[in-house]
Each structure stands twice: as structure tokens, then as C-alpha cells.
Chains A and B, each alone.
Chain A
Amino acid sequence: MISTATVPTDRFATSTGRAIIAGVILALCLVALSFISTNLVQELFGYSQNIKAREPTFFIRMGLLIGAIAAAFVLITSLSYYKRNKVAVAPWMFLSIGLVFFMIYVIVPIFQSISYSFTRWNGLYDINGIWTGEWVGLNNYKLLLNDPNFYTSLWNNLLWLLLFMLAVPIGLFIALFLNQTVRGIRIYKSLFFFPFVISQVVVGLIFTWAYNPEFGLLSEVWSWFFCETKTNIMGNLTRVCSPEPPSILGDETMATYGIIAAGLWPQIAYCMILYLTGLNNISSDQIEAGRLDGAKGWKMLRHVVLPQLKPATFIAIVVTVIGALRSFDMIATMTQGGPYGSSNVLAYYMYDQAVGEGVGRYGYGSAIATVLFLIMLVYISYFLWRMYQDELEAR
């Protein structure tokens, strides 16, 4: 150590002693690990489940793993290559831990579920922890092509994406409307923002009750126009309507629209708040300059205000697309995909086939998940490309 400090040319030399000790520890840890856990690849891809995870070897393995990582760090930092290229290598070392977890919890599961999609499996391991499924090649995808429920779900996904976009213009409209200085405007703003604060499940329940054709808000209003109250055979009051109030969530032609309408309520609030913050940042110089040039009303909005709101619009579209793809919770609370699967989307159909109510078609569910992943990949790629372009421009 002293020699490296005093002789400048040795600054980048490998500290041999440290490297050797770290290397030996690393090798020992790796050898011990490979002895304890056999079939690492199989375990990684879920084809065998280590049912002894809770036993002491689990902690030993964790200890060995952490030991190996620490030894690797020490080894790398004592190499002369690292000392020469500190600036380039150090960020990757900080990133590596995050990347490892990203691999384990995001990347590997993606490939796991793609690999399950070629199998028929009911989600069970037998008593020895051996995977009970069988390989069926492309069979699940063939079934998918013949499955009417799959097309219904796909179509509904598309409907969600299209109709959910209404949240952006409506949100903008409300934001423009609320962007004024009147007494108590903060209260009005909070009231408009309120639905976004409520959980999606609660929104789903509120709308389910409102739609209920027996006792819902909608049927109350309906009964002012079309219903009369009669006494039935047992002498109790009962309501007779003609025509009957619409059963929105019980009718295949209306169920999806009903759920989308419920989902729009909080989404509009979200877009509104994005635009409100955007409006705060609009430069008043440009507004004034526009006004001097005689711009008013629509022209002012179109040519002066909207261009300045472009970042807000981009974010609003992104969160709305994500919201449309996250429609799972609304569907789960409002219809469970019913009536007879007509309000399913791919995400819910996947859950339903694999995990829901013990149906246990894990292979088929994985095939649906893979298709959904491919569709989302298009959107994600566009999004990343767009971000990349923005970065280039910023430079």
C-alpha cells in the first residue's frame, strides 16, 4: 500500500494480495453454491421447484451469494484495469445490483412465461417438487386462434385504448375551464380532482351500484319516466316498468362501455391535473404578444397555448395508455369479465384462465400473456424511441 502511494507509476498496478484473497473467496463461494443448488437453470425457469427453500441451506445459499458478490467487488476494484477505467466502470458497478434484481423479477419471468406458453400445465408440482406439465409446442397458440373469447378480449382491449383517449381532451377542457381566478377556485379544483384520489375498486363499486337495474341510481331516474308502482299478489309494493331499465353490466353489448365510462371518471381528473400544472407554467409574455397580434379564443388556444402544453399532452397520453392497459381492477370489481366473458380484456382473461377460481390452465394463460406482451412491446418500443429522440434533441 505504501509503495502505491509513494511511487506514482504504480498507481494503476493490481494490488495482488487483495486480488488473490478475493479471488479465492469468490471461487470457494461459487463451488459451494454449485454443490448446494443443482439444476440452476431448471430452477430459474420454474421447471422444478425447490421445496426445501425454507430449510437452513436457504440461508447458507443466500450467505454464499452475498459473499460471492462482495468478493467479486473487491476483486474487480483491486485490478489495474479498474483503476485505469474508474470513470467508465464505476457506474456499472452501482447499477449492477439493480440490474440483477431487474433480471430476476422482470426479465426472467418474461422468458419463464414465454416458455410456459409452450406447455400444458395446471400449476402444480408433485410431492418431490417435480414439475407436472407437458410440452405441447405451439398448441396453445393454435387454440388461441380458434377461441372466440380471445377475439372478444382483443377487441375490448382496442376499445379501451381508443375510448380511454377521450380523457385527454375532456381533461384539457376542464383544466381550461378551471384555470381562472375566482373566489373559492381551489375548492372546485379539489372537487374535480377528487375521483382520482379514490381507489379504482371503490370507483368500480360505486358505478356497479349506480348501474344496477333493480336499485341503482340509473334505474331510479328511469322509473321517473317509464315505471309505475303496483301492488303485487302478496300485497307488497313492486315496480313495473315498460320498457325495462337497461341492465348495463348484464348485457354483452353494453358491459364494456359501462366499465370504460366508470374508468374515465378518475382518468379525466388525472389528465385535468396534468394540464392545470401545465397551464401554470405558460409564459405570460407569449400570451400578451399573441394578444397584441390580435389572437383570441380558438386561435389563441390552437397556436399559443397548446404548443406550450405539449409536454403535458405527451405525459397525459402516456398515462392514459397505461391506464387503459391496467383496466384489470375495474373489470375484476365490476363484472369479472361477464356476462359470459363479453367484457374480458387480455389481462383479465389471462388471469382468469391461469389463476382465477382454480381453473389452472397455466400454459394457456401464459400464451395469452405472451400475446399481450408482444402488443405492449410495440407501444413500449415507440415510447423508448421517442424518449431517445428527445434526449438527442436535448443534446
Chain B
Amino acid sequence: MKCKLNFSIASIAAAVLMSTSAMASDLIITFDDLNPDKKAAYDAAVEAFKKANPDINVTANNGDREAHKGSIRNALQNDSPDVITWYPGNRMGPFVDAGLFMDISDLWASDESLSSNFNAIKPTMTRDGKQWGVPYSYYQWGVYYRKDIYDKLGLSEPKTWDELLGNCDVMKEAGVTPFTIGTKFLWTAAGVFDYLNLRTNGYDVHNDLTAGKIKYTDDRIRATFANWEVMLDRCSFVSTHATMSWQDAIAPFANGDAAMYVMGNFSVGQYKDAGLKDEQIDFFQFPEITAGLPRAEEAPADAFFIPAKAKNVENAKKFLSFVASAEVQGEWNKSIGQLPPNAAAEINTEDKFIVEGMETLSTAAGLAQFYDRDAPAAMAKEGMQGFQRFMLDPSTLDEVLENLDKVQAEVYK
């Protein structure tokens, strides 16, 4: 009864609205970043969308990123918004396979920007030959280093593996720990592994590994770990890395005790907060290991998806194509200091890291999403624990790899 009553009130209200203006419709968006700059960029984009579509009644939600990883399950199954943020690559796999995300291949085919300016990132948004989301931002990974330490020791940016190892020798001689890292939360170690594997074996082998087609005890992967062992030996990492988060690990870097950091571009702001000036830090691409291998890079993207149970699909698609446009992508990423996936979008040319990042990614032969997004979550968890264990004690390598094979056999069934 109550339901009927509600319904009749709603229909009366709708009738009144219709008589006064064009039919109003809803759009509910769920975002997952409360960091001040990220939040501001999202809010600005939503405001711009409202202005462009005054007839759509937009509800914009925002929440904590870690909490979102848990709550999205409930959101997709019970209480769907019309647009929701999530990660591409294998991380979207379970939801796509369970039919909880909507296939938006038609939008990719018909939209002007999506069909022409997103070719580099399109493969990571694709599963089963269809596209499932629209990326709004991504960033490069590489080696961030203390330029002033390099200058003082007369070193230059290494282009090859041997040059890097040579640089490390000079630094250790001078009492500087070459690399800082904090592996308490594991994923930082995966960044190092990804680069070593991409440079030792290339993009295809790396992809096959994270897709479960190659075993961890394969000779090619062993070669990667052999290089890592050389790196641990000659380019030592800070010794207490297992108790530090990635932010903690900035302290020795800022103090001048360590000179390099394998990281993503989101870290630049934190270096500056720690007291480093723009001219003290710089960036180089992870050096070449196997000569002549096409250079692939890490470039994790963040994207919007439409849940299969969304109620206002037309509006959701309108929002996605709005987000895909060159102007919005340019504005959004300028304010958060990251890169627009739309190749036609403008970038902030005053930020040297963004310029170098654009250069790095636009010339890359392939883009990886990062180990914990390319591999299924269960595999990634075990893999990253294995990497940490290997870093603390390289003699456990055989045990680590055999255990990873066991988990792999189970996870990819």
C-alpha cells in the first residue's frame, strides 16, 4: 500500500515537473579519491558536466580509495550507481566475467575521442574483445633520482644496465645507498620486478607471465631474478625496507642517504613536501637490460565504468564521453599532475616530470598496468610476498618460485 502511495506521489510530482520544464533525469556517480587535489579535479569536472547538461540531476558521491575496494562489490550487486570508478586490466576481470559491468563497445566505436585518440590504452580497457570502461588519468613509472647527488659524484643518467650498475658502485664508494624502497605494503617491490622483467624479457613475456601462461620457474623469469640478485648486490636497497611504507622510504631519499627510487609519478608531490626542490630531483626511464628489446613501460590507469544494473544508462554514457573529451582530460590531469589518456589533450608543459612522462609513454612499445592489476589479486598477493622475501634473502629464490607456481596453477583455473 505504502509503495503504491509513494508511487502515486512520485507520478504526481513527475507530472508537475513535466509541465514546468523538460523531463529531468538522474545520474549517480561514485568516485574513490578523497585526496584534496584529486577531489577538486573530480568536483570541477562534475560541475562542468552539470553546466553542460542542466536537465540532468547529478548526484556525485566520493569515498576513500581503500574502502572502495571492498564496497564496490556491494555497489555492483545491490545498489548500483550509474557510473563507478575501478581499475582496468585484470583487476576488472572478475566483475566483467560475472556480468556486473556494462559492455560499452558501442560508445568506443561511435564516440569521436574514444574511437580515435585512445589507441595506446585501448588494449587495457578490452576484455573478450569488448571495451568496458573509459580511463580518465594515468601516470608513468620510472626512476626518480637526486640530481644534486648525481652531479656531485659526476654521474649521468644511465641508459644501460651496466651504466646503472657502474653508477651504483660509485655511490656505494661515496657512502650513499643507491636505492630507497619501502616494502611494508608489498606493492613497491612489484614495481621493481615489473621493470626488471620488462627490460629482461620484454612486454609479451611479462604479459604471458601475469596472464598465467608462463611459469615462475621458467628460465626467462629466472633470468629476471638473476638480474635482480645482481641489483640487490651492487645497487643495494635501504636495509630496513620491510618495515617502511613508501612514504617512510622518502626520508632517506630526502636526507641524501639514498639517491634513487623506482616509483610512480604520484610521488613527486611527496618529495617536495619532504623539502626537496624541483632542481634537486629528476627522472630517468629504467635503463635497458637486454639490448634491442622494444621498450615497454608501466602506466597504471584509473577509469570509469557503468555497472550492469545502472538505471540511467543514457546519462552515464553521456558522462563517459564527456570525460573522454580532450578538454576535460587536459583540465583534469593538469590539476592532479598526471597524464591524460586522450592523446589530443593538452598537458602541463611547465612540469618537467609530466613532459618527460608524456615522452616516455607516447614512445613506449607497450604499456603494463602494474603487477597487482595485471595479475589476478590472489596471484598478486602471493607474488608480491615472494618478491619481498627474495629481497630480504635471495637464497630463498627456489622456494619462492616453486610456491608461486603452485599458487599460479590454482588461481588461473
Contacts and interface: CB of A to CB of B under 8 A. Distances in A.
Contacts of A213: 240, 243
The contact size tier of chain B is 35 or more
Interface string A327-340: 00000000010111
B413 A357 contact: no
B176 A233 contact: yes
A212 B410 contact: no
Interface string A111-125: 000000000101111
Given A236-B255, A336-B185, A359 B378 contact: yes
A56 interface: yes
A353 B385 CA distance: 13
Contact of B94 (A252, A340, A360): A360
The 6 A-B residue pairs with the shortest CB-CB distance in the complex, in nearest-first order: A234-B256, A250-B242, A340-B389, A250-B243, A340-B385, A56-B3
B381 A338 contact: no
Given A56-B2, A148-B403, A127 B242 contact: no
Contacts of B69: 357-358
Nearest to B146: A234
A340 B388 contact: yes
Contacts of A122: 94, 98
A233 B239 contact: no
B270 to A, nearest CB: 17
Interface in B44-91: 69-70, 73, 77-79, 91
A126 interface: yes
A10 interface: no
Given A214-B248, A250-B240, A120 B413 contact: yes
Contacts of A211: 243
B257 A238 contact: yes
B243 A247 contact: yes
A338 B245 CA distance: 12
A46 interface: no
Contacts of A147: 406
Contacts of A38: none
Contacts of A53: 78
A51 interface: yes
Nearest to A147: B406
Give the residue among B176, B183, B243 with the most A Cβ atoms within 10 A: B243
Interface string A45-59: 000010101101000
B175 A51 contact: no
B412 to A, nearest CB: 12
A338 B377 contact: no
A247 B240 CA distance: 7
B3 to A, nearest CB: 4
B261 to A, nearest CB: 15
A232 interface: yes
Interface residues of A, number: 48
Interface in A32-79: 49, 51, 53-54, 56
Contact of A143 (B183, B185, B392, B410): B410
A281 interface: no
Interface of B: 2-3, 69-70, 73, 77-79, 91, 94-95, 97-100, 146, 148-149, 152-153, 174-176, 183-186, 239-244, 248, 251, 255-257, 308-309, 377-378, 381, 385-386, 388-389, 392, 399, 403, 406, 410, 413
A126 B257 CA distance: 52
B232 to A, nearest CB: 15
A49 B77 CA distance: 9
B256 to A, nearest CB: 3
A99 B389 CA distance: 48
A120 B308 CA distance: 24
A359 B256 contact: no
Interface string A8-48: 00000000000000000000000000000000000000000
A214 B388 contact: no
B256 A233 contact: yes
Contact of B98 (A127, A143, A238, A353): A127
A238 B184 contact: no
A338 B98 contact: no
Contacts of A228: none
A358 B183 CA distance: 19
B244 A214 contact: yes
Contacts of B185: 336
Contact of B240 (A214, A238, A252, A340): A214
Contact of B386 (A56, A127, A340): A340
B95 A232 contact: no
A54 B95 contact: no
A328 B185 CA distance: 17
B220 to A, nearest CB: 23
27 contacts: A49-B77, A51-B77, A56-B2, A124-B73, A124-B94, A126-B99, A127-B98, A127-B308, A127-B309, A129-B77, A132-B97, A213-B240, A232-B176, A233-B153, A233-B175, A233-B176, A234-B152, A234-B256, A238-B255, A250-B241, A250-B243, A336-B184, A339-B392, A340-B385, A355-B70, A357-B69, A359-B378
A256 to B, nearest CB: 14
Contacts of A120: 413
A338 to B, nearest CB: 7
A146 interface: yes
A251 B239 CA distance: 11
Nearest to A213: B240
Contacts of B79: 54
A360 B378 contact: yes
A247 B62 CA distance: 38
Contacts of A353: 378
Given A234-B148, A357-B377, A358-B377, A124 B256 contact: no
A353 B379 CA distance: 11
Nearest to B409: A143
A341 interface: yes
Interface in A98-155: 120, 122-127, 129, 132, 143, 146-148
Nearest to A235: B256
B244 A233 contact: no
